[in-house]
Amino acid sequence: MLSSVLNSNRSIEVNIAIMRAFVQLRKMIASNNKLAQKLAELEQHLENHDEQIQAIFEAIRQLMTPPAKPRKKIGFVVKEKKAAYGKRTKGSRRKK
């Protein structure tokens, strides 16, 4: 940096301008770091919400699906009492 070695008014002004430019660059880098950190925090926060939102949507989908209806049985159903064929009672014995 030749402007810091020279002793003229112009070189002093240039040196100050260079230092201000470096300070401005440092501020921009620092603000970008803060911005990147805030962005990472926000992204992590939203990731957590994404999981919760997915769980909510899954629950809604389950509630929207109609319950499975039991299938009707095919065939004939007898609504009478069964006949007592082959059953023996105490009083009814066959005689030989």
How far apart are the two ends of the chain, measured CA to CA in Å? 135
d(CA 37, CA 28): 14
Digit-coded pLDDT (tens) for 41-89: 877 777 777 778 788 888 888 877 777 788 887 887 777 777 666 666 6
- Structure tokens, 88: 């023996």
d(CA 15, CA 9): 10
* Residue 72 backbone phi and psi in degrees, to 5: -75, 140
Domain-wise residue ranges, the chain: 2-64
Digit-coded pLDDT (tens) for 23-50: 888 888 777 777 778 777 877 777 777 7
Of 31, 4, 24, 7, nearest to 15 by C-alpha is 4
Chain centroid, CA 71 distance in Å: 36
